[in-house]
Chains A and B, each alone.
Chain A
Amino acid sequence: MTSTETRTLLTGERLDNAKASYSRTRRRSWLLTVLLWLCVLYFVLPLWWLLVSSTKDNSALFSTFGLWFGGELSLWDNLQTLFTIRGGLFTRWLINTVVYSVTAAVGATLLSAMAGYAFAKYEFPGKKVLFSATLGAIMIPLTALALPTYLLFARAGLTDTPWAIIIPSLVSPFGVYLMRVYAADAIPDTLIESARVDGAGEFRTFWQVGFRLLGPGLVTVFLFSLVATWNNYFLPLVMLNSSELYPITVGLAQLQAAASAGGGTQALFSTVITGSFVSILPLIIAFLFLQRYWQSGLATGSVKG
């Protein structure tokens, strides 16, 4: 069994070989380059528009060309409005989103890591059934469960609390699957064995030997659970009533509804646009900084589907 690091090295070597022997096709590379960068425009231009628009005030938004700066630079004013509107509710929403998604992602990652490790490194009665159940659950439409979950939480008096968002987001069957595949590869059995010989308990072995080797896998599961909770709209919409508890998605949707209903009287459009722009920055930054980890984590997960 090879670890991911060695595998990446191997594939890197493979790449150089392939490159060398296909050098005759290199002359076409400018064509592919132009084509791909043109395609990139489709993915980037909407975000560019968002950036440009968040620097405009409401009237410039309507009167100037959307893909270029125009009117006065009012990014600062927009930000000020955004963070002071309704007593600084936007800040609250941002904090809520961070708290919900980080808590849920840490929890989901821990649960997935433990379960995935158990599936990968132990033999026990019922293993097959339990793993099949986990795999089958990947297909359960989570939003279809939001309604009964809401009713159950209402009985327990937990609706309109942060728990109503965090607890359902702790389940990540795909995370368990990914961690199983990853742990099977990344943790050599001999290491576990020698830890046992040294007299380490099963849990100490997991924490001190297994957990450290799971690094990229953990980052992958963490990031994808983080995104799932960060971007979730349906669950908080159903569960929460008080606007101080809203995450950014529900808050922005509400602001947008208010902007559309308010007609031209309120200068809310620029606030909604600036809010949208601000709300996507943290995740984009997280993905950029952690790319080395999540990309190699995904590599292992997608090989053995």
Chain B
Amino acid sequence: MANATALPAARPAASAKKRRTSPTKRKQYRAAYLFLLPFFIVFITMLVVPLVYAGYLSLFESKLIGGEVFAGLNNYVRALTDPQFWGGLGRVALFFVVQVPIMLGLALFFALALDTFLARGSKGIRLLIFMPYAVPAVVATLMWGYLYGPDFGPIAQMARALGFGTPDFLSAENILGSMMNIVTWEFVGYNMIIMYAALRAIPGELYEAAEIDGAGQFRLAWSIKIPAIRPAILLTVIFSVIGSFQLFAEPSLLNVIAPDAITMGFTPNYYAFNVAFINQELNYGAALAFLLGIVIAIISYFVQLGSERSARRERKGLA
């Protein structure tokens, strides 16, 4: 990163206009803060204040008599002993453990495959795989809901024609898997594009040694490409943590067609919404949302930590 402060001092033209460097510097500080101001106004009012407010709300209880009263950590104790909350958290954790590796594995495979340019129509393939990203989660869920449908869903039609009977994608046991498929469909392309963009930016020198060695595509991918795009992969993992722990649109829309399979606490976010807006328990809802935020922050932190460690280990191994 270039050091901007060092520059004004080394500029005779400016020092002729202004006798000392410090007013110039101050002027630049002021400009920098003014550039940052609009963003941080919105940042503070729309992120920091709601966060603090959620924390504050979560410490109160509303009673029939006496209205809002301070409750200390009661809401948190309640959440931590609430089977609905744990059930939802368990479901998204399972979702994260199963769906995210599949999704990111597919994304990485496609990115690497397209980066070799060995397939015909690579550009078309890239765009078509990416296209579902432009489809809102609501529309994707609606659409897959129809595709899963036992009556006019084409999957059921084909399964019946082949004599397999009608698969029940929307039963209580299968619906989490069906949801994983929807999210995979939506986001493989997005993650692929992030990884692909990073692959395209790998400097050519890195390939020279491999070319001399005559390494094949698989070794090239494994020992040069994947390590080189580690930051991009980390980024997609962190986005996936946030995405899977916050699942909302999918359960809330599938609830319409599979009300028995989607319970009120199917995912933590859906639960917090139902508690706050259907049950009108705002304080408890705030505690649930806050707790979910803490869980996401902790997991993201460990993901980053783990990745830093393995990067360090690798560097040591190379040295």
Residues on A lying within 8 angstroms of B by beta carbon are: 1, 7-8, 10-11, 13-15, 17-19, 21-22, 25-26, 28-30, 32-33, 35-37, 39-40, 42-44, 46-47, 49-50, 53, 61-63, 65-67, 110-112, 114-115, 117-125, 127, 130, 133-134, 137-145, 147-149, 151-152, 167-168, 170-171, 173, 176, 184, 189, 193, 196-197, 202-203, 206, 227, 230-231, 233-234, 237-238, 248-250, 252-253, 256-257, 260, 269, 272-273, 276, 279-280, 283-284, 286-288, 291, 295, 298-305
Known A139-B238, A238-B277: A66·B128 in contact at CB below 8 Å: no
- State whether the Cβ of B319 lies closer than 8 Å to any Cβ in chain A: no
Q: Are A10 and B203 in contact (CB under 8 A)?
A: yes
Q: Are A231 and B138 in contact (CB under 8 A)?
A: yes
Q: Are A44 and B128 in contact (CB under 8 A)?
A: yes
Further 20 A-B residue pairs, CB within 8 A, beyond A44-B131, A148-B51, A231-B137? A10-B203, A39-B106, A43-B185, A47-B132, A63-B152, A111-B42, A114-B36, A141-B246, A141-B296, A144-B290, A147-B272, A170-B42, A171-B42, A184-B1, A227-B133, A230-B136, A250-B138, A287-B131, A298-B193, A303-B197
Q: CA–CA, A120 to B4, complex, Å?
A: 9
Known A280-B135, A303-B232: A124·B297 in contact at CB below 8 Å: no
CB < 8 Å neighbour of B256 from A28, A120, A257: A257
- State whether the Cβ of B300 lies closer than 8 Å to any Cβ in chain A: yes
**Contact indicator per residue, chain B 268-290, by CB within 8 Å of chain A (1) or not (0):** 01001100110000100110011
- State whether the Cβ of B27 lies closer than 8 Å to any Cβ in chain A: yes
- 23 sample A-B contacts, Cβ–Cβ < 8 Å, listed by A number: A11-B200, A13-B204, A18-B207, A22-B217, A26-B118, A33-B120, A40-B129, A43-B129, A111-B38, A117-B35, A119-B36, A140-B297, A151-B53, A184-B1, A202-B28, A250-B138, A253-B252, A287-B134, A291-B127, A295-B197, A298-B194, A300-B201, A303-B197
Count residues of chain B with CB under 8 A from any CB of chain A: 115
Contacts of A147 in B (CB 8 A): 54, 272-273, 276, 282, 285-286, 289
Known A114-B38, A168-B46, A280-B139: A10·B204 in contact at CB below 8 Å: yes
Residues on B lying within 8 angstroms of A by beta carbon are: 1-5, 7, 11, 13-14, 27-29, 31-36, 38-40, 42-43, 45-47, 49-51, 53-54, 57, 106, 110, 113-114, 116-121, 125, 127-140, 142-144, 146-147, 151-154, 157, 185, 188-189, 193-195, 197-198, 200-204, 207, 211, 214, 216-217, 229, 231-232, 234-235, 238, 242, 245-246, 248-249, 252-253, 256-257, 269, 272-273, 276-277, 282, 285-286, 289-290, 292-293, 296-297, 300
